[in-house]
Amino acid sequence: MAKDDYVPLFETRPVKGRILFRLFAASIFVGICFICVYRVRFLPVEGKVERWTWIGLFLAELWFSLYWFLTTVCRWNSVYRFPYKDRLSQRFEKELPGVDIFVCTADPLIEPPSLVINTVLSVMAYDYPPEKLSIYLSDDGGSDLTFYAMLEAATFSKQWLPFCKKFKVEPRSPEAYFRTAFEPVNDPVKAREWLSVKDMKLRIETTTKLNRIPEDIRKQHKGFREWDFVSSKRDHQTILQILIDGRDPNAVDVEGRPLPTLVYLAREKRPQFHHHFKAGAMNALIRVSSRISNGPIILNVDCDMYSNNSMSIKDSLCFFMDEEKGDEFAYIQYPQNYENLTKNELYSGSFRVAKKLEFPGLDANGGPCYIGSGCFHRREALSGKKYDKGCKVDWKRLNDNMVEESVSVLEETCKVLASCTFEQNTQWGKEMGLKYGCPVEDIITGLSIQCRGWKSIYLNPQREAFLGVAPTALLQMLIQHKRWSEGHLQIFLSRYCSLLYGHKKIPLKLRLAYCPYNLWAANCLATLYYVAVPCLCLLKDISLFPKTSSLWVLPFAYVAFAHRVHSLGEFLWCGGTFQGWYNDQRMWMFKRTTSYFFAFVDTILKLLGYSKAAFVITAKVADDDVSKRYEQELIEFGATSPMFDILATLAMLNLFSSLGAIKKVILEADHSKVLDLFGLQILLCLLLVTINFPVYQALFFRKDNGRMPSSVTYKSIVFASLACALSMY
C-alpha cells in the first residue's frame, strides 16, 4: 500500500478531562505540602511518646503522598484505543495469520473439566477462519477426566461451531449461553437445533461429573492408554494427543466446514525436576505449538476465563497488522472481567477504575503490563526476540508454513519438547518464553519484553472480551490479593524492579507506573499505623491533628475530602454505584491491613532465608449456602483465619476508642474544647467504625454460617481491650 493511501487500522484518543485532572492533582499536591509543613513546624518537643507517635504519623503520611504521586503518574496521559475491523477485513481477509490459543488448567478438583471445556469451546468458536485456529490445552493435573472432557468437546464442537455461526451466538461458551438464552419456540427449525445443542451440552456435563472413565469409553480412544503408565499427577510421562487435526479434510463440522486444530498436552512431571508452575506450562506449549501449527499470534487464557466476544482476534489484529505501527507491538492485553459480580460489587472485584483510567495511563506511557490471561502475543516477541525497527513482517510468508508429518509422528516428536529435561542448559525461562523464579511470572515477562524494545497495547472494548469467576467469599479474595501483592513485592526487591531493570530501556514514566502495583504490600505499614495509632492516642489524650478552630485544619480537610469525592466521582463515571464505591473503600482497607500485611511479612521472611511463613492461612469457605449469601451481598466471614483476627481486632479497637471519645465529650464540662482539640481524631475513629459495620454485624448479630467464628470474636475483644488498657497506662 502506498504511504499516501495509508489508513490506520486503529485510532488512539486521549481520555477526556485530562486538564481538569491535572489541575486537581496540583491542588492536592499543594495541600500535601501544607500538611508536611505543619508536621515539621509543630513537632512536639516535650514528651517522648507524643514526639514518636507524631513522627510515625508523619512518615505514614509521607508514604501515602509518595504512593499518590505514583498513581497520579499512571493517569497523567491516559489514552483509549479503537480498532477498525472493517478496514482489516478489506485489506487482509486473505492474509489473516494463524492464531494459537493456549488454555491452562492445573487441578480437576478446583477447575472442573466442565469449566475447562466451556472455555475451550468458546475459543474454538471465534469469528475467524477455523483452519487458521489451533487450540492447545495444558493439563498440569494430568487428569484422564479432563482428557475425556476434551474428547467430548471435540465431538460437541461439530454442532456447536455451526450453531454459533448460524445464529450469531454471544457469548460462545455453552454454559454461559444456555444460562441466559430462551428457547426459540416460534421457529421450529431453530428450536430443533437449539435443543440438540443443549442436549449435547447436558450429556457432556453429566459424563464429566463421573469420578472414573467407564471401560467402554476408554476403549474408544488410544489416548486413554497413556494413563496406564501414570503414577500420579506429579510423576508421569508426557501425554500429547492431537484430537482434531485441522489439516485433515475429514475434520469438518456437521455443515462441512473445517474445524480448528485441537491438542491436549500434559507435560512430563518428575519429582526431581521443578516444573515452574504456569510459566513452565506456557513454555512447553510455545515449543509444542511451534512444531504443530506455529501460529505467529498466540492467545493465552486461564481455564476459567471464557471468550465473551467472538471478534476479539480481529480486534487484536488491527494493532498487529497495522502497516505503519503494527510491527512495534509485542502483545495486546485485555482486562480481566467477571460475570458473577453483585450489583454493588461486594468484594470490589470489578477493578472498574483501574480498567478505565489506570491501565489506559500505562498504555500511554509505553504499554500495559502482561497480567497472565486474556493476552494476544506476537510469538517471536514471547520467544525472546528483540525489537528491530527495520524488520517488517510479511504476513503472507508466515501463512505458508505447512507441516507435512502425520499426526502420530507429530505426537511422538512433540513429546520431547514437553519433557522435563528439554530446558536444561537452555535459555528457556531466562531469555526465552515466560520467566521463572517469581509467583507473578507474567509481570516480569511483560517487563522484559518491553525492555527488549517492544511496545504493548491495552484494549478494553465495549463488549468484554473475556469473563471469569470472581471470589464469592471474603477469605478467598484476601488470599488471592495476598498472592498477587507478595509476588509484586518480590519483583520490586529483585533485579526485575522496574526502576533498575528498565533503566535506559523503557521510559521513566513507565518504570514509575509499575511501582504502585509492585508496592501494594508495602502499603500495609502506613495503613495499619493510621488505623490503630490515632485511636489509641485518643484514649491517652494525645492530639495528632490541628485544632478544628485552626487554619491548619484546612489542608487536612481538603486533601481528605477532595480526594474521596474525586474517588467517588471516578467510580460513578466508570459505571459504579455509591454503595459499590463504599464497598470498594472497605475492601481497600481490609486488603491493606490483612492481605498486604501477610504478603509483606512473607516476603521479609523469605529474604531472611525462611522458606515458609510463620503463620498458616486456612482454606476458603465452601458451604453450600455461600453463593446465596453472596447474592444477598452479605460478607462471608465463616472461617477462622489470622486475617479475620486482625480485621476484628482493629474493628473493636476503633469501636472502643470511639466510645471512649464520646464519653470524654459528654463528661467534659467544656465540650467545645474537647471537640476543638480532638475533632479530626474523633471523626477518623467514627469513619473507621462506619466502614467496619459489617464486621460488627458478623461478630455480634448474625446467626447464619457466614458470621464470624466465636473464637475470633473472643480474641478480638481481648486483644483490643489489652491494647486500650496499655495505651492509657
Annotated binding site for Mn(2+): 278, 302
**Rounded CA separation 715/642 (Å):** 11
Of 140, 327, 584, 645, catalytic: 140
C-alpha radius of gyration, the chain, whole number:
28
**Rounded CA separation 382/682 (Å):** 54
Provide the 3-class DSSP secondary structure of residue 496: coil
All cell numbers assigned to 157: 464442537
Cell 508421569, residue located:
236
**Rounded CA separation 101/123 (Å):** 8
Provide the 3-class DSSP secondary structure of residue 596: helix
Query: Distance between the two ends of the chain, CA-based, in angstroms?
Result: 81
Provide the 3-class DSSP secondary structure of residue 103: strand
Question: Of 375, 376, 466, which Cα lies nearest the Cα of 170?
Answer: 466
Question: Per residue in 557-593, is it b (16+ CB within 10 Å) or e — as a string?
Answer: bbbbeeeeeeebebbeebebeeebbbbbbbbebbbbb
Task: For residue 268, give Cα distances in angstroms to 105, 230, 272, 569.
Answer: 15, 10, 12, 52
Residues 6+ apart with CB under 8 A from 412: none
Question: Of 535, 530, 527, which Cα lies nearest the Cα of 678?
Answer: 535
Of 100, 315, 322, 442, catalytic: 442
Number of continuous H segments (helices) and E segments (strands) in the chain: 28, 13
**Rounded CA separation 575/534 (Å):** 35
Binding site residue list: 111, 140, 278, 302
**Rounded CA separation 481/592 (Å):** 10
Q: Please indicate whether residue 86 is annotated as part of the active site.
A: no
All cell numbers assigned to 539: 484514649
Q: Please indicate whether residue 442 is annotated as part of the active site.
A: yes
The alpha carbon dihedral of 107, 112, 118, 124 has a sign of positive
Residues 6+ apart with CB under 8 A from 693: none
Which amino acid, one-letter code, is at 216?
D
**Rounded CA separation 102/277 (Å):** 15
Task: For residue 238, give Cα distances in angstroms to 138, 223, 234, 270, 278.
Answer: 11, 12, 11, 10, 16
**Rounded CA separation 157/201 (Å):** 10
Residues 6+ apart with CB under 8 A from 108: 141, 143, 145, 146
Question: Of 727, 718, 126, which Cα lies nearest the Cα of 465?
Answer: 126
**Rounded CA separation 135/267 (Å):** 16
Cell 525472546, residue located:
384
**Rounded CA separation 577/344 (Å):** 6
Binding site residue list for UDP-alpha-D-glucose: 111, 140
Catalytic residues: 140, 442
